[in-house]
Amino acid sequence: MKKDLGVKQAVFPMPVLMVAAYDENGKPNVMNAAWGMISGMEKVSLFISEPHKTTKNIRKTKAFTVSIADVAHMEAADYVGIASGNDTEDKWERSGLHETKSAHVNAPVLEEFPVCIECELDEIIEGDNHAVIGKIVNVCAEESVLDENGNVDPSKLNALVFDNFQSGYYVVGEKVGTAWDAGIPLMK
């Protein structure tokens, strides 16, 4: 017997995404977004509202990056979710993060985080179902998080997990199975 809780944002786990873009003068800004997901083989959708400095920047530069935040940089990742580039002039400097310009799009690749999705702006959906949609042009990653086949090994990411129930940050624990494999017994 389940209990009614009303309207809640009850997806779990959520990622901790670092969304970064330049302004019109090439000054970097970055924000923390949990409400973002792959939305197609070459697409990522971010549910970030219009007033964010990052949304304004993306409208101007038509590009952004999405990095996966890790435990080692939780303080900076959380800070960029508290402070706003709209009213904190030195937000980028205070974050302590570093960037280099992407080789593929006009957006900053954050040095501290091991995996970065480089996107061109694909579409901004207006209205009630507002979404900022990027076309993935490339993903780049540190060698230290790759396995022997050159794929990202998630166990090396130390990625943060976000919970929208109690606003907690977590680590990812042990691997318990593999998709398209765990369910095979029920196929027979």
β-pairing, 17-22 vs 28-33, is: antiparallel
Q: Is 172 in the site for a second copy (CB under 8 A)?
A: yes
Please say which residue, 21 or 44, places its beta carbon nearer to a second copy: 44
Closest CA to 130 of 30, 55, 33: 55
What value does the CA radius of gyration of the chain take, rounded to a whole number of Å?
A: 18
Q: Is 24 in the site for a second copy (CB under 8 A)?
A: no
Q: Which of 30, 107, 121, 159 binds a second copy (CB under 8 A)?
A: 159
Residues 63 and 101: their CA atoms lie apart, in Å, by: 11
Shortest reach from residue 53's CB to a second copy, in Å: 16
**Which tokens is 37 given?**
């997901």
Q: Which of 36, 53, 92, 121 binds a second copy (CB under 8 A)?
A: 36
* 18 beta partners: 32, 67
Q: Is 124 in the site for a second copy (CB under 8 A)?
A: no
Shortest reach from residue 174's CB to a second copy, in Å: 6
Q: What is the dihedral angle through the alpha carbons of 155, 174, 80, 164, rounded to the nearest 10 degrees?
A: 150
Number of residues counted as binding a second copy (CB under 8 A): 105
Residue 146, φ and ψ in degrees, nearest 5: -95, 150
Q: Which of 6, 24, 25, 148 binds a second copy (CB under 8 A)?
A: 6
Shortest reach from residue 39's CB to a second copy, in Å: 4
Q: Is 180 in the site for a second copy (CB under 8 A)?
A: yes
Please say which residue, 20 or 136, places its beta carbon nearer to a second copy: 136
> Hey, CA dihedral for 56, 61, 62, 64, is it positive or negative?
negative
Please say which residue, 24 or 126, places its beta carbon nearer to a second copy: 126
Q: Is 171 in the site for a second copy (CB under 8 A)?
A: yes
